[in-house]
Structure 1
């Protein structure tokens, strides 16, 4: 049996050790989840909603403990970990209050002699493979919707946040969820494929890189399992000529550095029209250069460490590659000495196609500044990406921004005069290499249900 060791990225000290399940234990976990599902699916939506609401209450009750563990395991600021727990509780509250009506049968007359019922039935065990950057939110996002729909849920969490996954399982159980219905299983990649192939598993959802998405999609397709994939991105935030520059700088700095810059839907490319480019650049660089990295448990740090050293090294290599191909570093761009996986807020200018900062996802606090001729050119650059998760528009003309977002932005989400954060009742997901399917709201509730047609002769 293998062992997973978790480490504090700020101090590089070992946190805990976890033993991986044996193949027999993995198979038993799937079977136990299926057995629990067989009873859970017969509960009314109202009964399920009551327990979902209690999970939210239990999350709040354990906020300090859970937030501290997340910060220790992956390095986000403690205040942001606390915000994350509150978001998870809000997801539970929205689901408990709204999901029963979303899952109600829909009835209509087909013709004078026939009536129809559309029924939303749970399908079974849903397997989620989740990343480390939002250790609780990523889990709540898919698990709460699927539990509410009547399914069972298995979680394979990222190794570095194994403790958070196990604590969430304890919290769900303490809230009254039946034993076995939600399990955080500590397994290898080979065992993960075996879970996908298990006949008891009916759906697979992954949040991760595009490369991981391709692997899981292929494995799932071979087993004829439906998937929902929320993958990486290189989101563009467009700054238009009429933007409030100070507000735009504030939004863009926060959008690039929140969660230590390790967010799939973070602002990453900043496409600024020529008329205000120089003014925006100077203020943006000044604000980024002023940010301080430090102990994420303290109130004095603006950013904590990156989650792992190899991730920091990969990010730095992308910065160096971009510079070698013509980009200019205006601030940051150097690995600091000392303990911890820290990386400074960094701004690159003269970013062009062929550079990692233009073409790829930089999963850390590195901003790519791109000059556009005008609004049309900015929109062209924003869409010049294989990714399509989110994007942003900074402008005082909200109507124009809505038109651009609706008709031209080729992404699943667009944020106007704010940076991207999840909202429990709004669909979350992308297009192109950023994946497919939607989470949150009624959309997420119905991704893994059997939309069943029942036709009755009157």
Structure 2
């Protein structure tokens, strides 16, 4: 496996991939580790998560620079990601015991009926490159706290991050085999999912990858959680604070180079404020600093690779050929590296890529609607259903509209985000299941009914 710095297109390092024998040995270690780990008292598991959080904070700059070198995330955003991972560990260190406490039910006098939450075994996590630490920790912290063990198949362009995460858990004191990284190609994933030693799988990534894992796991009757991307609406009503909406919208579209499942992608704006909002959005987008991701002042770094940047531009070109208008950006930048500028499109025809596909980069698609009903219809006119953001000064209106949006999470006067305290996940082609909060830790446990006579 070779890693390339997308800011310079220079090779960083080469890693030896794990062989089939290496994978088999790792699965044996996971099985042996699980037999002991499931018996470790919750208090000890929580203490180890606190240790992991401390390591993340102590070595924050080191891990942030690793992310930035491998996938181009601006260094300030990479540092924030490491902090969020530490927060996630601390959240489950504090709340896992309560989330997994026995629940009692009515039963005849002299009997006890309850649900207890038991771990289920080794869980395979297939994770993407765009948030190479957070995506892993939001799986690992609850799963390890519950008594499961983790096997990570990370994206092939971030092997250094994968190995660093394994090192964090080892240094924190987690026993050997409780969390392992497998440096393998994607074509070995099905074999691992099918293996009797693996009891469940979770995947964040593309629709085809999710369908493949779900199909294999379903054939083996194994539970899965899938988060498969989105084309999130950002709805701006006529009574919205346009300055706040434009400022937050520019951030929500361009964070992480726009390479986020929950980025604001389709801006759906009431016709009475469409011109004013779009002007403000363009101003905010053009004020963003594009540059070296190692520079603290950079807002937008490169795309993850030349191939990703070229695919994004093909989608923009096809949309413009269909009739879309470019108000900002729209062409690869004339500089070394996989740089694409923050871009705003309007006058977007139906069924062109900017309308119907997920644009995984810094491209905002602006649509105009005449009323609330049209806004809801346009928001739901997608095969995705991950997140949504609604902007209005009328909180009752915002809550009413949120109830009609087909999405796993909706935010009113705020950008869509994941937070350890609340469930995260999608519907439709954005996947199923939930991560984080109490619901996330319950995805990979045996909800066992115990009746005591």
Band of TM-score, shorter chain: over 0.9
SS in 1 for 2:294: coil
Matched, 1:217 2:214: yes
Match of 2:429 in 1: 433
In 2, distance between residues paired with 1:402 and 1:312? 37
User: 229, 245, 258: which is aligned to 1:248?
Assistant: 245
Alignment of 1:387-402 (within 5 A): 387-402=384-399
Q: CA deviation at 1:286?
A: 2.1
In 2, distance between residues paired with 1:400 and 1:312? 38
- In structure 1, stretches of 5+ residues that fail to align are none
Matched, 1:304 2:301: yes
Matched, 1:450 2:417: no
Q: CA deviation at 1:421?
A: 2.0
Alignment of 1:147-162 (within 5 A): 147-162=144-159
Q: Which ranges of 4 or more aligned residues in structure 1 deviate by more than 6 Å?
A: none
Alignment of 1:64-103 (within 5 A): 64-103=61-100
SS in 1 for 2:264: coil
Matched, 1:366 2:363: yes
In 2, distance between residues paired with 1:382 and 1:53? 40
SS in 2 for 1:128: strand
- In structure 2, stretches of 5+ residues that fail to align are none
Q: CA deviation at 1:279?
A: 0.6
SS in 1 for 2:131: coil
Matched, 1:257 2:254: yes
In 1, distance between residues paired with 2:400 and 2:405? 9
Moved more, 438-447 or 374-383: 374-383
Q: CA deviation at 1:323?
A: 1.1
Matched, 1:320 2:353: no
Matched, 1:332 2:321: no
CA contact (8 A) 2:66 2:161 kept: yes
CA contact (8 A) 1:253 1:288 kept: yes
In 1, distance between residues paired with 2:255 and 2:162? 22
CA contact (8 A) 1:34 1:181 kept: no
Q: CA deviation at 1:399?
A: 2.2
Match of 2:36 in 1: 39
Q: CA deviation at 1:176?
A: 0.6
In 1, distance between residues paired with 2:2 and 2:19? 17
1:351-403 deviations in Å (ceiling 9; x for gaps): 23211111111000000000000122111100111100000001111222122
Match of 1:173 in 2: 170
SS in 1 for 2:158: helix
User: 397, 400, 411: which is aligned to 2:407?
Assistant: 411
CA contact (8 A) 2:123 2:198 kept: yes
Match of 2:227 in 1: 230
In 1, distance between residues paired with 2:427 and 2:105? 33
1:140-170 deviations in Å (ceiling 9; x for gaps): 0101110000001000000111101101111
Match of 2:274 in 1: 277
RMSD, matched Cα: 1.0
Matched, 1:347 2:335: no
In 2, distance between residues paired with 1:126 and 1:334? 42
In 1, distance between residues paired with 2:416 and 2:50? 26
1:99-144 deviations in Å (ceiling 9; x for gaps): 1111111223322353212110001000000000001000001011
Match of 1:27 in 2: 24
Moved more, 18-27 or 105-114: 105-114
SS in 2 for 1:16: strand
User: 397, 400, 422: which is aligned to 2:418?
Assistant: 422
User: 111, 116, 122: which is aligned to 2:113?
Assistant: 116
SS in 2 for 1:155: strand
Q: CA deviation at 1:426?
A: 0.5
SS in 2 for 1:312: helix
| TM-score with structure 1 setting the length | 0.97
